[in-house]
């Protein structure tokens, strides 16, 4: 029995999110089908987290266990040949049987891409959120600073989520601007459901002057979802990287 970890990149546009669903095409379901076709046994993969419909990945992580005597390269080559062009295994490596993509994840990094344009750009619209109005960069950067640190992020969780501990730590939050493209990058020890998209929706309101940058602290403290109403579209969101403790999920051999 061998346990493998896979780094998976995908364009999420044509999928109903990561999680397997009975009658809908999902990333997890598509990966499991490809692995089952190759390995000729039932395969259940565990993802580091669920990405919503339309969300992209540069570094989603999933683990699975197989009875077959296969190598990392055999899986990578065979499965990539079976996968559609919008999902790719960037790497595959054997890990200790105890390593689990979800349980052992200790942090994640997300990216969020915007572009400013009066009209849609057909080559960007799947991969970035279009903004028509000018955004106040100074106010946005000031607001971003206030998210860094350990906070109760209950304000920034999709309603209906049933998680008890809503305290998370954001260790990094940067903004890179190149021409009309804005790329946000945020790292934390974990994110609540829709947290990045609600933070981004709030920052867009700050950028348009609907919320003042100074108000962010009190919005976080309020733990009131009504204070952060906007959820930014999924097409701008990228799961960039998932972090694991070296001692458990290290590459074997």
Which residues are catalytic, by number?
52
Q: How far apart are CA 32 and CA 20, in angstroms?
A: 9
Cβ atoms of 184 and 207 closer than 8 Å: no
The stretch among 4-12, 34-42, 93-101, 222-230 that binds its own copies (CB under 8 A) is 4-12
Contact string (CB under 8 A) for its own copies, positions 47-66, x = contact:
---------x----------
Min dist. Cβ of residue 32 to its own copies (A): 18
Please report whether residue 20 would count as binding its own copies according to CB under 8 A. no
Q: Which is nearer to its own copies, 91 or 252 (CB)?
A: 91
- Which residues face 88 on adjacent strands? 9
Q: Which is nearer to its own copies, 41 or 121 (CB)?
A: 121
Min dist. Cβ of residue 33 to its own copies (A): 17
Min dist. Cβ of residue 39 to its own copies (A): 19
Q: Which is nearer to its own copies, 11 or 32 (CB)?
A: 11
Q: Phi and psi of 239, rounded to 5°? A: -80, 115
Cβ contacts of 15 within 8 Å, gap of 6 or more: 25, 26, 27, 30, 53
Contact string (CB under 8 A) for its own copies, positions 85-124, x = contact:
xxxxxx----------------------------xxxxx-
Q: Give me 181's structure tokens.
A: 């493209």
CA atoms within 13 A on the CB side of 68: 16
Query: How many positions of this chain bind its own copies (CB under 8 A)?
Result: 21
Q: How far apart are CA 139 and CA 152, in angstroms?
A: 22
Min dist. Cβ of residue 22 to its own copies (A): 24
Q: Site residues for its own copies, window 65-84 (CB under 8 A)?
A: 76, 80, 83
Cβ atoms of 60 and 242 closer than 8 Å: yes
Q: Which is nearer to its own copies, 9 or 202 (CB)?
A: 9
Q: Which is nearer to its own copies, 126 or 142 (CB)?
A: 126
Burial of residue 135, with CB atoms counted within 10 A of its CB: 0-12 exposed, 13-18 middle, 19 or more buried: middle
Considering only CA atoms, which of 155, 169, 146 is closest in space to residue 216? Answer: 146
Q: Give me 183's structure tokens.
A: 């790329």
By CB under 8 A, name the binding residues for its own copies. 9-11, 56, 76, 80, 83, 85-90, 119-123, 125-127
């Amino acid at each position: 029995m061998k346990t493998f970890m896979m780094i998976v990149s995908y364009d999420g546009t044509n999928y109903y999110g990561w999680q397997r669903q009975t009658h809908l095409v999902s990333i997890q379901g598509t990966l499991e089908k490809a692995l089952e076709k190759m390995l000729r046994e039932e395969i259940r993969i565990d993802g580091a987290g669920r990405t919503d419909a339309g969300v992209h990945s540069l570094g989603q992580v999933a683990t699975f266990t197989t009875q077959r005597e296969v190598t990392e390269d055999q899986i990578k080559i065979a499965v990539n040949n079976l996968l559609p062009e919008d999902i790719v295994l960037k790497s595959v490596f054997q890990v200790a049987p105890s390593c689990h993509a979800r349980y052992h994840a200790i942090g994640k990094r997300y990216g969020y891409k915007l572009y400013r344009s009066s009209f849609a750009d057909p080559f960007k619209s799947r991969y970035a959120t279009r903004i028509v109005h000018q955004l106040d960069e100074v106010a946005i950067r000031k607001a971003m600073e206030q998210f860094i640190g350990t906070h109760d992020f209950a304000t920034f969780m999709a309603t209906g989520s049933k998680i008890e501990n809503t305290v998370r730590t954001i260790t990094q939050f940067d903004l890179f601007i190149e021409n009309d493209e804005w790329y946000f990058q945020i790292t934390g020890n974990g994110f609540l459901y829709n947290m990045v998209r609600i933070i981004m929706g709030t920052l867009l309101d700050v950028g348009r002057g609907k919320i003042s940058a100074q108000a962010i602290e009190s919005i976080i403290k309020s733990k009131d979802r009504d204070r952060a109403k906007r959820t930014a579209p999924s097409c701008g969101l990228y799961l960039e990287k998932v972090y694991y403790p070296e001692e458990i999920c290290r590459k074997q051999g």
